[in-house]
Structure 1
Amino acid sequence: MRKSINNGNITWLDEGQGATIVLIHGFAENSALWDIQTTQLKTRYRVIIPDLPGTAVVPLSTPLTIESMAEYVYAILLAENISDAVIIGHSMGGYIALALAEKYPSGLKGLGLFHSTAKADNEEKKEGRRKSIKLMEQYGADTFLRQTLPNMFSPATKSTLPAEIEAYVKMGMECQLPALVAYYEAMAARPDRTDVLKALRVPVLFMIGKDDNAVPLDNVLPQITLPRVSSIHIFENVGHMGMWEVATESNVILEQFIAFCQLSS
């Protein structure tokens, strides 16, 4: 069921019943990213899936920051009277989940970083985002996304999942250029949040693709020992899109982690 508040400026999907799971999408994505996971999880849990500002169904809010998007998700939790949840974010969604965990740790039962990192962008990464913005502005967002988004999949799955890659590109094209630029700027400006991992008292899930060029393995590995309780899964022949590239395996891991978080509270 799709719900909204604030005259449609805050929108989310609400599926299933039980303990609450929040799934946060990333750059050039929307709530449909999690359709496979939602179908599975809603049989046992209540699943909340926000559409972030700037997606096809939600106007872009300004100024847009990782922190403002965390407040956006928190507003949904308040509207639904949800006092605790397992929160899982993909890529930029993980940055938002970390910002939410930093400001509202008492409402967290578990944190999942799905191809994401607590580290801030280094200068090389920031420069890459600036170049991407220039390319989008020069050649158009659609051209940029069609060239870039297939590289979110590993070389192995590029050849086996052509329909999924095309669907992912079309999803990205639903975002307008101002939103894509705002997302890049927000990600580049975010602070390091490795201290958040150290401070958490709930389980943390790390889902890592061995062939992930966006959030490389060597970026994430130093972080896995920071939380008190970590669950680490490294996927072979997987890039940045494990929820699609290895959907069945990742669903099993998500369910096991969520169940563990319920027992750990």
Structure 2
Amino acid sequence: MEAKHIICQNSFVYYQVYGAGKPVVLLHGFGEDGKVWQPQIDFLQEHFRLIVPDIPGSGQSEIIKDANIDTYADVVKQIIDKEYPEGQEQVTLIGHSMGGYATLSFAEKYPGCLNSIGLFHSTAFADSEEKKQTRRKAIEFIKTKGAFSFLKTSIPGLFTASFVENNPEKINALIGYGKNFSNEALVQYYEAMIERPDRTRVLKQMNTPVLFIIGENDMAIPLQSSLQQCYLPDQSCVTILEQSAHMGMWEESEKANKVLFNFLFNYF
């Protein structure tokens, strides 16, 4: 593993690089950092070169003032440019949840940099008004009670009840990451998600393969909503994790790893 960084808009952005071979960027979601991909890193690093950033405001990366989803996509582009300064290497970008929103922004802005993308419990649809209201309530909770209190309350709901019951140490580990988040970062993420546009057009225009990994029990990105976007790209690969909610990389890590490997192996 190599620990690296870039400076983006005067902010330190941390990322790690594992393995060798064709490049794959793993982009985490809200209330996480790059460590959330550890089960996938352990499995895939023998076959691919994995680039795993901490989105600004998460993990070891500093927050970027007034950042939005497009900013996070630009951060990924800057990292890729540093790793491949000649600009001839295409990457696969896999985004979980909010990381998927940044993945779609990247695909819209920099399609020539990609040979495929993956949406892992994520969606191209904009927030509904109901979803926006839910996020605004979360913002008020964070402002009044703090980031860690919010994550401690919300994280268990991202998993199936049986996973929470059988894996308390993993839930506590993810909650533990939450101690590093500032109120400002989580509020910025929610505001960025509220403001992001519908990007179904991006999927319709994709001329490279798109992987969809969907949790059957996902309450954050519901199954039926996820399925509605799968027919939009010319080439879709769809997997439903039947025992997962919103955190399939942990809930069904072995199956998720095999799906990712097969997609990456077949579509590079």
Task: Report the TM-score when normalising by structure 1.
Answer: 0.96
How far the C-alpha of 1:53 sits from its partner, in A, is 0.6
Equivalent of 1:31, from 10, 31, 34? 34
Residue 114 of structure 2 aligns with which residue? 108
Where does 1:37-48 land on structure 2 (aligned, <5 Å)? 37-48=40-51
Determine if the alignment matches structure 1 residue 150 to structure 2 residue 153.
no
Determine if the alignment matches structure 1 residue 171 to structure 2 residue 177.
yes
Looking at structure 2, the residues matched to 48 and 230 of structure 1 have their Cα atoms a distance apart, in angstroms, of 23
| Contact kept in structure 1, 2:148 and 2:181, CA below 8 Å | no
| Contact kept in structure 2, 1:66 and 1:186, CA below 8 Å | yes
Counterpart of 2:193, as a letter, is M
| Contact kept in structure 1, 2:11 and 2:64, CA below 8 Å | no
Where does 1:170-249 land on structure 2 (aligned, <5 Å)? 170-249=176-255
Task: Report the TM-score when normalising by structure 2.
Answer: 0.95
Looking at structure 2, the residues matched to 219 and 172 of structure 1 have their Cα atoms a distance apart, in angstroms, of 28
Looking at structure 2, the residues matched to 174 and 104 of structure 1 have their Cα atoms a distance apart, in angstroms, of 31
Give structure 1 stretches of 5+ with no counterpart: none
How far the C-alpha of 1:8 sits from its partner, in A, is 6.4
Where does 1:21-100 land on structure 2 (aligned, <5 Å)? 21-81=24-84, 83-100=89-106
How far the C-alpha of 1:170 sits from its partner, in A, is 1.1
Give structure 2 stretches of 5+ with no counterpart: none
Query: What RMSD in Å do the two structures reach over aligned CA positions?
Result: 1.1
Residue 2 of structure 1 aligns with which residue? 3
Looking at structure 2, the residues matched to 13 and 173 of structure 1 have their Cα atoms a distance apart, in angstroms, of 21
Question: 2:166 aligns to what SS in structure 1?
Answer: coil
Listed one character per residue, the Cα deviations across residues 222-250 of structure 1 (whole Å, up to 9, x for unaligned) are 11100111111111121100000001110
How far the C-alpha of 1:211 sits from its partner, in A, is 0.8
User: Percent of aligned pairs with the same residue?
Assistant: 42
Looking at structure 2, the residues matched to 66 and 119 of structure 1 have their Cα atoms a distance apart, in angstroms, of 14
Stretch moving more, 228-237 or 126-135: 228-237
Counterpart of 2:118, as a letter, is G
Residue 15 of structure 2 aligns with which residue? 12
Looking at structure 1, the residues matched to 66 and 11 of structure 2 have their Cα atoms a distance apart, in angstroms, of 18
Looking at structure 2, the residues matched to 124 and 248 of structure 1 have their Cα atoms a distance apart, in angstroms, of 34
Looking at structure 1, the residues matched to 110 and 29 of structure 2 have their Cα atoms a distance apart, in angstroms, of 20
Looking at structure 1, the residues matched to 59 and 247 of structure 2 have their Cα atoms a distance apart, in angstroms, of 21
Looking at structure 1, the residues matched to 36 and 15 of structure 2 have their Cα atoms a distance apart, in angstroms, of 13
Counterpart of 1:175, as a letter, is F
